[in-house]
Structure 1
Amino acid sequence: MGATTSSAIDVRVTDRKSLIKELCLKRKDYDSMQHAYKVDDIMANSRPTTRVEQVLQMASSRDPAICKGGENSQVFMEASMLPLVAAFLFGGSLIRCFEVCPLWFVVYYKTLDQIFAKIDKGFEQYYGHSLKLEYARTDWSPVHVAEAGIRIDRILIARVTSLHVNRCTKVSYGYGYKGQNPLDHPSSNANDEYPEPYECSFKFDTYTRGTGRSFWIHKDICRFHGDETRVAATQNITPVCVNDRIEIAVNLFNAMGLVDVNQVRWHPLEIFPLQARECPIEQELFDWY
């Protein structure tokens, strides 16, 4: 593998949810149908003549009576209010909102992009020199547990640069869940940030463009209530070439609860010497081979 470079195709078309959003916007301008405060209409009808009237005019700019939207739009879908609604519904209830109509799908999907923009910017700040962020999207998938579960991730698609060729690099971030008080984790210095309760990391080996690579892939079989799920699993440290695209998944909702976006903090990039890799299954089950 690695004889050819990644295709130049737009990465958005590979994601079904992003494609649905773009197709919806081609049908109608759903962004303009979202509820918003029509302040311009009031200002056009009655211009303030005194300072007191101007203050009163500004105070009425958030009056629900002037918050208007198109068909199927509701007052709580106003841009400044919807992030609070989305945080309250986060999980299975939020996913149900995407199924109401095209307007709700577009508006809620756009809101998630706004909520998670901090994660995208942090990734660019820490790793932009070695991993060029090309696209970010939100994805969700069902989780097979005793009760209906769901997993929500922020997927960052980045292109590998030539800065750390023939090196092993580690991308990591710390995070905490909603409801966890940062004061429960005091640091030694009052000016230091509190330590994150959890950490997630990704490691990959970077080779020159067009270098051949070997992948170990095995079939992970899970049997649950008579159903059999077969998933292809690869080794933990993946070999990539310069100019390849990689996906970094930031988990934001799982069986443990909702991750606090404000507690997601990227860690500095770590560089390690390149090593010869062996099949991870052979390492764990050496007596079988």
Structure 2
Amino acid sequence: MNGIAQKVQKPSFQIVPLGVKGGIDEKNLSAYLLAPLNTTDFICLDAGTIHAGIEKAIENNVFKISSEAVLKKYIKGYLISHAHLDHVAGLIINSPADSSKTIYATHSCMEMIQKHYFNGDTWANFGDEGNGYLIKKYHFQTLQPEEQTPIANTTMTVKAFPLSHVNPFESTAFLIKNENTYALYLGDTGADQIEKSNKLSLLWTEIAPLIKSKQLKGIFIEVSFHNEQADSQLFGHLTPKYLMNELHSLSELTGKDALKGFKIIITHMKPPTENFAKIKAQLKKQNDLEVQFIFPEQGKRFEL
């Protein structure tokens, strides 16, 4: 009954993927618009691709307004998990056409954004802190770990949790809350076993009660490579095997029944294209927890 109950819950969020891949496809890199259902108050979870993703969503009749209007009016801000280019390129390139809003990131991520991108040299500083002439279009808001922060011009709040992405380099998980429901988005992350870390373990401890109470609607988490990728060549990423290991660790806290039908949104699969089918097949084969895997497509809206 628990699995059935999970599946028939009413959705709380709408998601519009602007980019879903890791790696070399610059027109389809990590970026997910998330808003409370029946609103257009979107936060952008990472920002590897913006314009091309909005155009794709318009082609799919997700948005009925221009791409410029979506950028300026619907996107209320950006949650950036880490400063690797495949997670920030769209934000940087679209900044001249954007409207005033807030960029949220942890201290280390924000420091890299200000030092290497919006610094007045590699790109104009559209922010309100840092080097060069301050255009002050964006407010740079540094997130304190595990502190609930309101997301401006929305009804949502966010808590940030550190992730290990080629230890000691840090990425971020964002726990987004609206009313009494939640969504969890993880930036790039390696498995605790490989990273010699406990960051995922601590995150699972934090969210397990929300899964048991059916308040957490789903988890966005990366699987960059198939299982044949050597451990030494993972570079802070997950495979189906290591994702399932982590979900089993989570199930020890929630009980297996609580994860039946629970939505796991797979992000950051890396090209070439033939890898995608292999990753999907391996996840399906190893899915003894009976979670519901979702493979988002660029520009195709879904609900959580």
Instruction: Tell me if both proteins adopt one fold, taking TM over 0.5 as the criterion.
Output: no
Larger radius of gyration: 1
| TM-score (norm. length: structure 1) | 0.25
| TM-score (norm. length: structure 2) | 0.25
